[in-house]
């Protein structure tokens, strides 16, 4: 029997204060080797840039502007 476990993170509130923890969780998931592209929703673009810098050479990052 093959067993596979996945790690999940839940946040009680949305907001930019979660960005670093989301980035850590995404980087951890990328380490499993089957993720090649990450889509990031970013109101100002800051999160998109942060993800692109942190994941450079590990995954392609597509940032989508979410205007409010």
Asked if residue 45 lies in contact with residue 32, where contact means CB atoms within 8 angstroms, the answer is: no
44 part of a folded domain? yes
Residue 30 has pLDDT above 90, yes or no: yes
pLDDT band at 42; cut points 50, 70, 90 = confident
pLDDT of 65: 86
Averaged pLDDT, 42-60: 94
Residue 66 has pLDDT above 70, yes or no: no
For 68, the domain range is 35-68
- Number of domains within the chain: 1
Residue 5 has pLDDT above 90, yes or no: no
Written as six digits, the tokens of 17 are 């204060």
12 part of a folded domain? no
């Amino acid at each position: 029997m093959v067993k596979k476990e996945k790690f999940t993170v839940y946040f009680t509130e949305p907001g930019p204060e979660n960005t670093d923890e989301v980035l850590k969780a995404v980087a951890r998931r990328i380490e499993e080797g089957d993720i090649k592209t990450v889509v990031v929703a970013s109101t100002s673009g800051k999160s998109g840039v942060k993800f692109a810098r942190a994941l450079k050479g590990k995954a392609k990052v597509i940032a989508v502007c979410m205007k409010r």
